[in-house]
Structure 1
Amino acid sequence: MISKLCNQIFDQSINDYHINNEIDFEPKNPYQTATIEFLLYKKNWIDTAQWHMEDVVRNPNIDCAEGLKLKRKIDASNQERTDLVEYIDSYFLERFEGIQPKADAKINTESPAWAIDRLSILGLKIFHMNEEAERIDASEQHRATCSDKLSVLLRQRTDLSKSIDELISDIENGDKYMRVYKQLKMYNDPSLNPILYSLNKENNG
Protein backbone atom coordinates (compact mmCIF):
# COMPACT_ATOMS: atom_id res chain seq x y z
CA MET A 1 0.00 0.00 0.00
CA ILE A 2 1.39 3.37 -1.02
CA SER A 3 0.20 5.12 2.14
CA LYS A 4 2.25 2.80 4.36
CA LEU A 5 5.38 3.57 2.34
CA CYS A 6 4.63 7.31 2.47
CA ASN A 7 4.09 7.37 6.23
CA GLN A 8 7.26 5.34 6.89
CA ILE A 9 9.40 7.65 4.76
CA PHE A 10 7.80 10.83 6.09
CA ASP A 11 8.44 9.73 9.69
CA GLN A 12 12.01 8.85 8.75
CA SER A 13 12.60 12.24 7.15
CA ILE A 14 11.07 14.14 10.09
CA ASN A 15 13.18 12.21 12.60
CA ASP A 16 16.32 12.68 10.48
CA TYR A 17 15.70 16.44 10.26
CA HIS A 18 15.41 16.78 14.02
CA ILE A 19 18.82 15.19 14.60
CA ASN A 20 20.41 18.52 13.55
CA ASN A 21 17.24 20.64 13.60
CA GLU A 22 18.76 23.25 11.26
CA ILE A 23 16.80 24.84 8.43
CA ASP A 24 19.82 25.10 6.11
CA PHE A 25 21.17 21.61 6.79
CA GLU A 26 21.60 19.69 3.53
CA PRO A 27 20.48 16.07 3.99
CA LYS A 28 21.85 12.99 2.28
CA ASN A 29 18.80 11.34 0.76
CA PRO A 30 19.10 7.64 1.69
CA TYR A 31 17.19 6.46 -1.39
CA GLN A 32 18.25 5.92 -4.97
CA THR A 33 17.75 8.94 -7.23
CA ALA A 34 14.58 9.04 -9.37
CA THR A 35 12.74 6.43 -7.29
CA ILE A 36 9.41 7.19 -5.63
CA GLU A 37 11.12 6.71 -2.25
CA PHE A 38 13.70 9.39 -3.14
CA LEU A 39 10.95 11.82 -4.15
CA LEU A 40 8.89 11.19 -1.01
CA TYR A 41 11.88 11.72 1.29
CA LYS A 42 12.88 14.92 -0.50
CA LYS A 43 9.28 16.16 -0.48
CA ASN A 44 8.90 15.75 3.27
CA TRP A 45 12.31 17.26 4.01
CA ILE A 46 11.22 20.42 2.16
CA ASP A 47 7.98 20.46 4.17
CA THR A 48 9.86 19.97 7.45
CA ALA A 49 12.38 22.74 6.80
CA GLN A 50 9.58 25.07 5.72
CA TRP A 51 7.57 24.23 8.86
CA HIS A 52 10.45 25.58 10.95
CA MET A 53 10.91 28.61 8.70
CA GLU A 54 7.24 29.44 9.28
CA ASP A 55 7.84 29.22 13.04
CA VAL A 56 10.82 31.57 12.91
CA VAL A 57 9.22 34.19 10.65
CA ARG A 58 6.33 34.56 13.14
CA ASN A 59 8.67 35.83 15.84
CA PRO A 60 7.30 39.35 16.57
CA ASN A 61 10.83 40.52 17.41
CA ILE A 62 12.44 39.32 14.20
CA ASP A 63 14.60 41.86 12.39
CA CYS A 64 12.61 43.22 9.43
CA ALA A 65 15.39 42.58 6.91
CA GLU A 66 15.86 39.06 8.24
CA GLY A 67 12.11 38.46 8.16
CA LEU A 68 11.88 39.57 4.54
CA LYS A 69 14.84 37.36 3.63
CA LEU A 70 13.12 34.42 5.29
CA LYS A 71 9.83 35.19 3.52
CA ARG A 72 11.65 35.03 0.17
CA LYS A 73 13.11 31.70 1.25
CA ILE A 74 9.63 30.38 2.13
CA ASP A 75 8.34 31.46 -1.30
CA ALA A 76 11.19 29.57 -3.00
CA SER A 77 10.49 26.53 -0.81
CA ASN A 78 6.80 26.63 -1.75
CA GLN A 79 7.72 26.61 -5.43
CA GLU A 80 10.11 23.69 -4.92
CA ARG A 81 7.40 21.83 -3.01
CA THR A 82 4.89 22.38 -5.82
CA ASP A 83 7.37 21.23 -8.46
CA LEU A 84 8.10 18.08 -6.48
CA VAL A 85 4.42 17.23 -6.06
CA GLU A 86 4.10 17.44 -9.83
CA TYR A 87 7.12 15.11 -10.21
CA ILE A 88 5.36 12.61 -7.94
CA ASP A 89 2.20 12.89 -10.01
CA SER A 90 4.31 12.19 -13.12
CA TYR A 91 5.38 8.94 -11.46
CA PHE A 92 1.73 7.93 -11.05
CA LEU A 93 0.81 9.03 -14.59
CA GLU A 94 3.55 6.76 -15.93
CA ARG A 95 2.50 3.95 -13.62
CA PHE A 96 -1.12 4.09 -14.83
CA GLU A 97 -0.30 4.86 -18.46
CA GLY A 98 -1.57 1.55 -19.83
CA ILE A 99 -4.83 1.49 -17.86
CA GLN A 100 -8.01 2.20 -19.79
CA PRO A 101 -10.59 3.94 -17.59
CA LYS A 102 -14.11 2.51 -17.64
CA ALA A 103 -16.83 4.43 -19.49
CA ASP A 104 -18.32 5.59 -16.19
CA ALA A 105 -14.97 6.33 -14.52
CA LYS A 106 -14.90 9.39 -12.29
CA ILE A 107 -12.20 11.92 -11.53
CA ASN A 108 -11.04 12.61 -7.99
CA THR A 109 -11.06 16.07 -6.40
CA GLU A 110 -7.27 15.95 -6.20
CA SER A 111 -4.46 13.93 -7.74
CA PRO A 112 -2.63 11.18 -5.80
CA ALA A 113 0.42 13.41 -5.22
CA TRP A 114 -1.60 16.29 -3.77
CA ALA A 115 -3.32 13.86 -1.39
CA ILE A 116 0.14 12.56 -0.44
CA ASP A 117 1.21 16.18 0.11
CA ARG A 118 -1.48 16.45 2.80
CA LEU A 119 -0.22 13.20 4.33
CA SER A 120 3.28 14.69 4.59
CA ILE A 121 1.97 17.75 6.42
CA LEU A 122 -0.07 15.53 8.73
CA GLY A 123 3.10 13.69 9.67
CA LEU A 124 4.62 17.00 10.74
CA LYS A 125 1.54 18.00 12.71
CA ILE A 126 1.61 14.65 14.53
CA PHE A 127 5.32 14.94 15.37
CA HIS A 128 5.03 18.46 16.76
CA MET A 129 1.72 17.90 18.54
CA ASN A 130 3.28 14.88 20.24
CA GLU A 131 6.15 17.14 21.36
CA GLU A 132 3.63 19.53 22.88
CA ALA A 133 1.72 16.70 24.56
CA GLU A 134 4.96 15.66 26.28
CA ARG A 135 6.39 19.11 27.09
CA ILE A 136 7.62 18.99 30.65
CA ASP A 137 7.68 22.80 30.99
CA ALA A 138 4.02 23.13 29.93
CA SER A 139 0.97 22.93 32.16
CA GLU A 140 -0.94 19.71 32.67
CA GLN A 141 -3.92 21.30 30.92
CA HIS A 142 -1.77 22.17 27.90
CA ARG A 143 -0.46 18.61 27.65
CA ALA A 144 -3.97 17.16 27.99
CA THR A 145 -5.36 19.46 25.30
CA CYS A 146 -2.51 18.61 22.94
CA SER A 147 -2.95 14.92 23.66
CA ASP A 148 -6.60 15.18 22.59
CA LYS A 149 -5.57 17.00 19.42
CA LEU A 150 -2.94 14.34 18.75
CA SER A 151 -5.63 11.64 18.86
CA VAL A 152 -7.62 13.54 16.23
CA LEU A 153 -4.55 13.93 13.99
CA LEU A 154 -3.75 10.22 14.23
CA ARG A 155 -7.31 9.34 13.27
CA GLN A 156 -7.12 11.80 10.41
CA ARG A 157 -3.91 10.17 9.15
CA THR A 158 -5.56 6.75 9.28
CA ASP A 159 -8.55 8.02 7.29
CA LEU A 160 -6.45 9.89 4.75
CA SER A 161 -4.13 6.90 4.30
CA LYS A 162 -7.10 4.67 3.59
CA SER A 163 -8.54 7.19 1.12
CA ILE A 164 -5.23 7.42 -0.76
CA ASP A 165 -4.96 3.63 -1.02
CA GLU A 166 -8.55 3.43 -2.25
CA LEU A 167 -7.86 6.14 -4.84
CA ILE A 168 -4.83 4.25 -6.18
CA SER A 169 -6.86 1.03 -6.29
CA ASP A 170 -9.74 2.78 -8.10
CA ILE A 171 -7.35 4.18 -10.73
CA GLU A 172 -5.71 0.77 -11.20
CA ASN A 173 -9.16 -0.80 -11.66
CA GLY A 174 -10.30 1.87 -14.12
CA ASP A 175 -13.00 3.19 -11.76
CA LYS A 176 -11.29 6.58 -11.56
CA TYR A 177 -8.84 8.39 -13.80
CA MET A 178 -6.06 10.89 -13.28
CA ARG A 179 -5.91 14.35 -14.72
CA VAL A 180 -3.11 16.63 -13.58
CA TYR A 181 -3.21 20.41 -13.76
CA LYS A 182 -0.01 22.37 -13.35
CA GLN A 183 -0.39 24.74 -10.43
CA LEU A 184 0.52 27.80 -12.53
CA LYS A 185 1.46 29.86 -9.50
CA MET A 186 1.28 33.52 -10.44
CA TYR A 187 3.04 35.38 -7.64
CA ASN A 188 6.52 34.05 -8.55
CA ASP A 189 6.15 34.83 -12.25
CA PRO A 190 7.34 38.37 -13.12
CA SER A 191 5.05 38.39 -16.16
CA LEU A 192 1.92 37.57 -14.11
CA ASN A 193 2.45 39.34 -10.78
CA PRO A 194 1.24 42.97 -11.33
CA ILE A 195 3.66 44.34 -8.73
CA LEU A 196 6.63 42.71 -10.45
CA TYR A 197 5.72 43.59 -14.01
CA SER A 198 4.92 47.18 -13.00
CA LEU A 199 8.37 47.48 -11.42
CA ASN A 200 9.92 45.94 -14.51
CA LYS A 201 8.14 48.51 -16.71
CA GLU A 202 9.37 51.36 -14.49
CA ASN A 203 12.95 50.08 -14.50
CA ASN A 204 12.92 49.77 -18.30
CA GLY A 205 11.56 53.26 -18.78
Structure 2
Amino acid sequence: MISELANKIFNQAITDYHQFDNIDQPVNNPYEKDSLTHLLYLKNWIDTAQWHMEDVVRNPTIDPVEGLKWKRRIDTQNQVRTDMVEFVDSYFLDIYKHIQANADAKINTESPAWAIDRLSILALKIYHMQEEAERETASEEHRLQCLTKLNVLLAQRDDLSLSIDELLADIEAGKKYMKVYKQMKMYNDPSLNPVLYNTTK
Protein backbone atom coordinates (compact mmCIF):
# COMPACT_ATOMS: atom_id res chain seq x y z
CA MET A 1 0.00 0.00 0.00
CA ILE A 2 1.31 3.42 -0.98
CA SER A 3 0.04 5.07 2.20
CA GLU A 4 1.91 2.64 4.45
CA LEU A 5 5.11 3.30 2.52
CA ALA A 6 4.54 7.06 2.57
CA ASN A 7 3.84 7.16 6.31
CA LYS A 8 6.98 5.14 7.03
CA ILE A 9 9.17 7.40 4.90
CA PHE A 10 7.62 10.60 6.25
CA ASN A 11 8.35 9.48 9.81
CA GLN A 12 11.90 8.63 8.79
CA ALA A 13 12.46 12.04 7.17
CA ILE A 14 11.05 13.86 10.22
CA THR A 15 13.26 11.86 12.58
CA ASP A 16 16.31 12.45 10.39
CA TYR A 17 15.62 16.20 10.24
CA HIS A 18 15.28 16.49 14.01
CA GLN A 19 18.67 14.92 14.56
CA PHE A 20 19.99 18.30 13.41
CA ASP A 21 16.92 20.55 13.82
CA ASN A 22 18.51 22.91 11.34
CA ILE A 23 16.49 24.47 8.51
CA ASP A 24 19.63 24.72 6.35
CA GLN A 25 20.78 21.14 6.95
CA PRO A 26 21.56 19.55 3.54
CA VAL A 27 19.22 16.71 2.61
CA ASN A 28 20.87 13.29 2.77
CA ASN A 29 18.23 11.30 0.91
CA PRO A 30 18.88 7.57 1.47
CA TYR A 31 16.72 6.42 -1.45
CA GLU A 32 17.55 5.84 -5.09
CA LYS A 33 17.14 8.94 -7.22
CA ASP A 34 13.99 9.10 -9.37
CA SER A 35 12.30 6.43 -7.24
CA LEU A 36 8.98 7.12 -5.51
CA THR A 37 10.65 6.58 -2.14
CA HIS A 38 13.23 9.27 -3.00
CA LEU A 39 10.44 11.68 -3.95
CA LEU A 40 8.46 10.98 -0.78
CA TYR A 41 11.48 11.51 1.47
CA LEU A 42 12.40 14.78 -0.25
CA LYS A 43 8.77 15.95 -0.20
CA ASN A 44 8.54 15.55 3.56
CA TRP A 45 11.96 17.08 4.20
CA ILE A 46 10.81 20.19 2.30
CA ASP A 47 7.63 20.27 4.40
CA THR A 48 9.56 19.81 7.64
CA ALA A 49 11.95 22.66 6.87
CA GLN A 50 9.02 24.92 6.01
CA TRP A 51 7.22 23.93 9.22
CA HIS A 52 10.16 25.31 11.19
CA MET A 53 10.41 28.42 9.01
CA GLU A 54 6.79 29.13 9.93
CA ASP A 55 7.70 28.75 13.62
CA VAL A 56 10.55 31.25 13.29
CA VAL A 57 8.55 33.94 11.49
CA ARG A 58 5.82 33.81 14.17
CA ASN A 59 8.20 34.86 16.93
CA PRO A 60 6.50 38.01 18.31
CA THR A 61 9.87 39.61 19.08
CA ILE A 62 11.39 39.02 15.64
CA ASP A 63 12.96 42.07 13.99
CA PRO A 64 10.56 43.23 11.22
CA VAL A 65 13.32 43.27 8.60
CA GLU A 66 14.37 39.76 9.59
CA GLY A 67 10.71 38.69 9.59
CA LEU A 68 10.27 39.96 6.03
CA LYS A 69 13.31 37.95 4.94
CA TRP A 70 11.76 34.83 6.42
CA LYS A 71 8.39 35.58 4.81
CA ARG A 72 10.03 35.83 1.40
CA ARG A 73 11.95 32.63 2.05
CA ILE A 74 8.68 30.90 2.97
CA ASP A 75 7.13 32.14 -0.30
CA THR A 76 10.04 30.61 -2.20
CA GLN A 77 9.74 27.38 -0.21
CA ASN A 78 6.01 27.27 -0.96
CA GLN A 79 6.80 27.27 -4.65
CA VAL A 80 9.36 24.47 -4.15
CA ARG A 81 6.74 22.49 -2.24
CA THR A 82 4.15 22.99 -4.99
CA ASP A 83 6.63 22.01 -7.69
CA MET A 84 7.46 18.87 -5.71
CA VAL A 85 3.80 17.85 -5.45
CA GLU A 86 3.39 18.30 -9.20
CA PHE A 87 6.52 16.23 -9.75
CA VAL A 88 5.03 13.40 -7.67
CA ASP A 89 1.82 13.64 -9.70
CA SER A 90 3.90 13.33 -12.86
CA TYR A 91 5.26 10.08 -11.44
CA PHE A 92 1.73 8.72 -10.98
CA LEU A 93 0.64 9.96 -14.41
CA ASP A 94 3.48 7.99 -15.93
CA ILE A 95 2.66 4.88 -13.88
CA TYR A 96 -1.01 4.95 -14.95
CA LYS A 97 -0.60 6.20 -18.52
CA HIS A 98 -1.52 2.78 -19.94
CA ILE A 99 -4.71 2.46 -17.85
CA GLN A 100 -7.88 2.73 -19.92
CA ALA A 101 -10.49 4.53 -17.86
CA ASN A 102 -13.99 3.09 -17.87
CA ALA A 103 -16.68 5.00 -19.75
CA ASP A 104 -18.30 5.94 -16.45
CA ALA A 105 -15.01 6.73 -14.67
CA LYS A 106 -15.07 9.73 -12.36
CA ILE A 107 -12.48 12.32 -11.48
CA ASN A 108 -11.40 12.77 -7.86
CA THR A 109 -11.61 16.05 -5.99
CA GLU A 110 -7.80 16.10 -5.75
CA SER A 111 -4.89 14.32 -7.36
CA PRO A 112 -2.96 11.52 -5.62
CA ALA A 113 0.03 13.76 -4.92
CA TRP A 114 -2.05 16.50 -3.29
CA ALA A 115 -3.65 13.88 -1.05
CA ILE A 116 -0.15 12.60 -0.20
CA ASP A 117 0.86 16.20 0.49
CA ARG A 118 -1.84 16.33 3.18
CA LEU A 119 -0.54 13.06 4.59
CA SER A 120 2.96 14.54 4.82
CA ILE A 121 1.70 17.60 6.72
CA LEU A 122 -0.33 15.31 8.96
CA ALA A 123 2.83 13.37 9.84
CA LEU A 124 4.38 16.64 11.02
CA LYS A 125 1.31 17.55 13.07
CA ILE A 126 1.41 14.12 14.74
CA TYR A 127 5.14 14.38 15.51
CA HIS A 128 4.86 17.82 17.09
CA MET A 129 1.58 17.14 18.89
CA GLN A 130 3.14 14.05 20.45
CA GLU A 131 6.06 16.21 21.58
CA GLU A 132 3.60 18.53 23.29
CA ALA A 133 1.65 15.64 24.82
CA GLU A 134 4.90 14.41 26.40
CA ARG A 135 6.54 17.76 27.22
CA GLU A 136 7.53 17.62 30.89
CA THR A 137 7.70 21.41 31.27
CA ALA A 138 4.04 21.76 30.26
CA SER A 139 1.11 21.48 32.65
CA GLU A 140 -0.81 18.24 32.99
CA GLU A 141 -3.87 19.99 31.53
CA HIS A 142 -1.86 21.01 28.46
CA ARG A 143 -0.51 17.48 27.99
CA LEU A 144 -3.98 15.94 28.27
CA GLN A 145 -5.41 18.41 25.75
CA CYS A 146 -2.60 17.61 23.34
CA LEU A 147 -3.09 13.88 23.85
CA THR A 148 -6.75 14.27 22.89
CA LYS A 149 -5.74 16.19 19.77
CA LEU A 150 -3.08 13.59 18.99
CA ASN A 151 -5.66 10.81 19.01
CA VAL A 152 -7.80 12.78 16.54
CA LEU A 153 -4.78 13.29 14.27
CA LEU A 154 -3.95 9.57 14.38
CA ALA A 155 -7.52 8.70 13.39
CA GLN A 156 -7.34 11.29 10.62
CA ARG A 157 -4.15 9.66 9.34
CA ASP A 158 -5.85 6.27 9.23
CA ASP A 159 -8.80 7.68 7.28
CA LEU A 160 -6.65 9.66 4.85
CA SER A 161 -4.32 6.70 4.29
CA LEU A 162 -7.28 4.48 3.42
CA SER A 163 -8.70 7.12 1.08
CA ILE A 164 -5.38 7.45 -0.77
CA ASP A 165 -5.06 3.69 -1.21
CA GLU A 166 -8.66 3.46 -2.43
CA LEU A 167 -8.10 6.31 -4.89
CA LEU A 168 -5.03 4.66 -6.38
CA ALA A 169 -6.85 1.29 -6.56
CA ASP A 170 -9.74 2.98 -8.37
CA ILE A 171 -7.36 4.59 -10.86
CA GLU A 172 -5.68 1.25 -11.50
CA ALA A 173 -9.10 -0.36 -12.03
CA GLY A 174 -10.24 2.39 -14.40
CA LYS A 175 -12.97 3.55 -12.02
CA LYS A 176 -11.36 6.96 -11.64
CA TYR A 177 -8.93 8.90 -13.76
CA MET A 178 -6.22 11.44 -13.06
CA LYS A 179 -6.46 14.99 -14.29
CA VAL A 180 -3.76 17.30 -13.01
CA TYR A 181 -3.94 21.08 -13.01
CA LYS A 182 -0.83 23.15 -12.48
CA GLN A 183 -1.24 25.46 -9.49
CA MET A 184 -0.35 28.59 -11.47
CA LYS A 185 0.63 30.57 -8.39
CA MET A 186 0.55 34.26 -9.18
CA TYR A 187 2.10 36.05 -6.22
CA ASN A 188 5.73 35.20 -7.10
CA ASP A 189 5.37 35.92 -10.81
CA PRO A 190 6.40 39.50 -11.72
CA SER A 191 4.20 39.33 -14.83
CA LEU A 192 1.06 38.36 -12.86
CA ASN A 193 1.32 40.15 -9.49
CA PRO A 194 0.28 43.81 -10.03
CA VAL A 195 2.37 44.97 -7.08
CA LEU A 196 5.43 43.51 -8.78
CA TYR A 197 4.80 44.53 -12.37
CA ASN A 198 3.72 48.06 -11.43
CA THR A 199 6.99 48.62 -9.56
CA THR A 200 9.05 47.76 -12.64
CA LYS A 201 7.60 50.57 -14.76
Q: How would you bin the TM-score normalised by the shorter chain?
A: over 0.9
Q: What does 1:118-137 correspond to in 2, within 5 Å?
A: 118-137=118-137
- Name the CA distance, whole Å, in 2 between partners of 1:78 and 1:150: 26
Cross-structure match for 1:189: 189
Cross-structure match for 2:28: 28
Percent identity over the alignment is 68
- Name the CA distance, whole Å, in 1 between partners of 2:29 and 2:158: 26
Cα distance, 1:181 vs structure 2: 0.2
TM-score normalised by the chain length of structure 1:
0.97
Q: Supply the AA of the counterpart residue of 1:54.
A: E
Alignment pair present for 1:5 and 2:10: no
Number of aligned residue pairs:
201
Q: What does 1:169-188 correspond to in 2, within 5 Å?
A: 169-188=169-188
Cross-structure match for 2:90: 90
Deviation track 1:154-177 (CA, whole Å, cap 9, x = no partner) reads: 000000000000000000000000
Cross-structure match for 2:53: 53
Partner SS, residue 20 of structure 1: coil
Q: Supply the AA of the counterpart residue of 1:53.
A: M
TM-score normalised by the chain length of structure 2:
0.99
Deviation track 1:98-127 (CA, whole Å, cap 9, x = no partner) reads: 000000000000000000000000000000
Provide structure 2 residue ranges, at least 5 long, that are not aligned to the other structure.
none
Q: What does 1:106-145 correspond to in 2, within 5 Å?
A: 106-145=106-145
Deviation track 1:27-50 (CA, whole Å, cap 9, x = no partner) reads: 211111111111111110010000
For the aligned residue pairs, the C-alpha RMSD in angstroms reads 0.5
Cross-structure match for 2:39: 39
Provide structure 1 residue ranges, at least 5 long, that are not aligned to the other structure.
none
Cα distance, 1:76 vs structure 2: 0.7
- Name the CA distance, whole Å, in 2 between partners of 1:19 and 1:166: 34
Deviation track 1:49-108 (CA, whole Å, cap 9, x = no partner) reads: 000010110011001111111111101110000000000000000000000000000000
Deviation track 1:8-36 (CA, whole Å, cap 9, x = no partner) reads: 00000000000000111112111111111
- Name the CA distance, whole Å, in 2 between partners of 1:189 and 1:179: 24
Deviates more, 1:125-134 or 1:28-37: 28-37
- Name the CA distance, whole Å, in 1 between partners of 2:52 and 2:66: 15
